[in-house]
Structure 1
Amino acid sequence: MLDAAVRLFVAGGFRQVTLDDIVAEARVTKRTIYSYFGDRTDIFLAAVERRRNRTLGQPIQGGSLEDLASTIVSALHSDEAIGLHRLMVTEAHSFPDLAEGFYRDGPQAYIEALSARLPEHDLDLARSLFTLLLGESHRQRLLSLRSAPTHEEAATQARTALRHLGISDGNDAAN
């Protein structure tokens, strides 16, 4: 159901997609959708939450900050994440509650996950790191000027961001 909803939202926009459209695309009943999610807003936010859970819920190899940062780069530069981000930028003004939920369940949650891996859970440093992890390459992805990074490109971007912030080995902040 979420895959069908995401495809429709990304292709047609939040405002244009009806619950009936999602029902038809997912080949389920409205009752099924209501029992799992609720309305369109709930479905959209469930898709954002699913993306976050897939990213932060997966075992991060090595468990280091660098590994988490690389995983976030890969996830947030993916076609699905880029599509949801574009949609949210387009619809935020008309649907402020949706925008608030998107930020809370998306970027804010990633920043908090990064903060949890930093010494003293430095939230300001985590915000700066998150900004660098998206960076110019994310803007280029949003504008369809580049493709999603490979695993190695994501790892390189993560290492570069950590180095620019003075985080030495992916586990500890440099003095």
Structure 2
Amino acid sequence: MSASGERRKRGRPTEAERLTRRDHILDAALQAFISRGYGAVTIDEVALAAQVTKRTIYSYFGDKAGIFTAVIERFRAAAAEVQSDNIVDTATRIVEVLFSDAAVGMHRLMIAEASQFPDLAAGFYESGPRGYVALLAEHLPGDRAEREVVAEALFGVLLGEPHRRRLLGLQSEPDPAVARAHAERALALLRVGE
């Protein structure tokens, strides 16, 4: 029986069931990575926490690095869910996502384990920071090269010292109003969106 008390039908899962299962696996992996570190976590541990088989995990993600990358990409997808072409809304959403406890936990983990897992660190950078820069660039005027330069500077200012304080545990997760004010200050500093 499922958690809701209904009997699950046999056969192939629906697309909705697949997406729910995928999210459940990623939630379990996120918690395991944050609490134990990438190197210490096993596929068996994630499968047990997610209540799925190892085979299911392999079919969804391939291997542990694939799970890790999917966790990082899910943060970026959450940031891209903004229903606006407004750069302020996009920058605000990036701050909300990257300053969250979960994203900060993954960032700490990657800093701690980057030298031991350089390929994973490279994947983290491409799936994470590079993806956020590209997301910001989509909302900026100018040619592609100019948008990339401004977007990279903006991303740096959006994180900056407030994010370092989050990484060090000196500041709590911002509420939506604080996140928006921070994004607006960063945009004003770079004179973006004026």
Report the AA paired with residue 114 of structure 1.
L
Q: Which runs of 4+ in 1 moved over 6 A?
A: none
How many angstroms does 1:168 deviate by?
4.3
Looking at structure 1, the residues matched to 190 and 31 of structure 2 have their Cα atoms a distance apart, in angstroms, of 37
What does 1:8-19 align with in structure 2 at a 5 Å threshold?
8-19=32-43
Looking at structure 2, the residues matched to 59 and 87 of structure 1 have their Cα atoms a distance apart, in angstroms, of 27
1:90 corresponds to which of 87, 95, 112: 112
Aligned length: 167
Match of 1:75 in 2: 97
Looking at structure 2, the residues matched to 125 and 168 of structure 1 have their Cα atoms a distance apart, in angstroms, of 11
Q: Normalized against structure 2, the TM-score is what?
A: 0.83
Looking at structure 1, the residues matched to 74 and 45 of structure 2 have their Cα atoms a distance apart, in angstroms, of 21
Q: Normalized against structure 1, the TM-score is what?
A: 0.92
Which secondary structure does the structure 2 equivalent of 1:119 belong to?
coil
What does 1:1-175 align with in structure 2 at a 5 Å threshold?
1-56=25-80, 58-60=81-83, 62-120=84-142, 121=144, 122-169=147-194
Looking at structure 2, the residues matched to 59 and 16 of structure 1 have their Cα atoms a distance apart, in angstroms, of 35
Kept in 1: contact 2:69–2:127 (CA 8 A): yes
> Runs of 5+ in structure 1 lacking a partner?
170-175
Higher relative contact order (CA 8 A, sep 6+): 1
Looking at structure 2, the residues matched to 83 and 59 of structure 1 have their Cα atoms a distance apart, in angstroms, of 23
Looking at structure 2, the residues matched to 48 and 152 of structure 1 have their Cα atoms a distance apart, in angstroms, of 25
Q: Which is higher, the Rg of structure 1 or of structure 2?
A: 2
Kept in 1: contact 2:85–2:139 (CA 8 A): no
Looking at structure 2, the residues matched to 52 and 162 of structure 1 have their Cα atoms a distance apart, in angstroms, of 20
Residue by residue over 1:114-150, the C-alpha shift from the partner in whole angstroms, topping out at 9 and shown as x without a partner, is 1121111421111110011111110011011111111
How many angstroms does 1:59 deviate by?
3.2
Match of 2:16 in 1: none
Kept in 1: contact 2:26–2:70 (CA 8 A): yes
Question: In percent, how many aligned pairs have the same letter?
Answer: 46
In structure 2, the CA distance between the partners of 1:161 and 1:38, relative to structure 1 (3 Å rule), is same
Looking at structure 2, the residues matched to 52 and 99 of structure 1 have their Cα atoms a distance apart, in angstroms, of 16
Report the AA paired with residue 9 of structure 1.
F
